[in-house]
Amino acid sequence: MLSFLIKSSQRIRAMLKLHMTKERQKWMEEYKKEFIGFMIDSKALKFGNFTLKSGRKSPFFMNAGAYVTGNQLKKLGEYYARAIHDNFGLDFDVLFGPSYKGIPLAVATSMAISDLYGVNVRYCSNRKEVKDHGDTGILLGSSLKDGDRVMIIEDVTTSGKSIEETFPIIKSQGDIEIKGLIVSLNRMERGKTKKSALEEIQAKYGFQARAIVTMPEVIHALYQNPYKGQVIIDDRLKASIDAYYKEYGVR
């Protein structure tokens, strides 16, 4: 009888775990679709012909500078805060946003983390040039000190070049642990090797890199699926994206 009860209890726990997993997956699917729509509405994600910082010619472009209203920044901070919470937890001290686009991301997300989870993290960014008067130094916002645990926040990483610039600035401030990198969109294309830029960052620097959504998820959500009455990714655009990934996609 005892054995039967134990097995029954185990089956119930397994069923509940499976149910919770399915519910979470369903929630994440809706959450990502919502974020994709938010990027489109805010004109942060565009399709056309663009030259990237890396020099690549791309049929799509992600620009966090398009989030310009208080409401947009509030929502964006909430998306990032939830993604950080779900992927890394909140066991860190400082949210670092590389200048310039990372500055409003770090500010909005630190506020959202406080509002959603009641956790206060400091925000920090770097200047492009060292300031030699007044509030001197290379950093804006909070200073960094020995023992600080830092989360880096960016809009998108294509080649990993921005992290090459950011990493030494952070590490030069003291004995600091970088907990991870969060971006809004993983473009899922090669960096300097056959791996994606985020995978290269993980391998080179030893911390995890995550995204709110990936470009394949964006394509899956928008290809031949009308959004607010408009097909954003049609056959012609899909062919252009496919050609781009044939040349630059992760292999």
Q: 39: domain CATH number? A: 3.40.50.2020
Amino acid at site 206: G
Cα 16 → chain centroid: 30
**Measured distance CA(1)–CA(133) in Å, rounded:** 79
Residue 18 lies in a domain: no
* Per-residue tokens: 44: 């942060």
Residue 14 lies in a domain: no
| pLDDT score at 10 | 55
Section 11-28 average pLDDT: 48
Residue 13 lies in a domain: no
Q: What is the set of active-site residues?
A: 131, 133
Section 42-66 average pLDDT: 91
Output 16 or 96, whichever has higher pLDDT.
96
Assign 162 a pLDDT band (cuts: 50, 70, 90). confident
What Cα–Cα distance (Å) separates residue 176 from each residue in 58, 94, 144, 152? 36, 10, 8, 12
* Per-residue tokens: 105: 């991301």
Residue 222 lies in a domain: yes
What DSSP string runs through 144-206? Answer: --TT-EEEEE-SB-SSSHHHHHHHHHHHTTSS-EEEEEEEEEE--BBSSSSSBHHHHHHHHHS
Residue 152 lies in a domain: yes
Q: Whole domain around residue 212: which residue ranges?
A: 34-248
Residue 117 lies in a domain: yes
- The 10 Å Cβ neighbour count of residue 53 is 10
Residue 1 lies in a domain: no
- In the chain, the number of structural domains is 1
Residue 16 lies in a domain: no
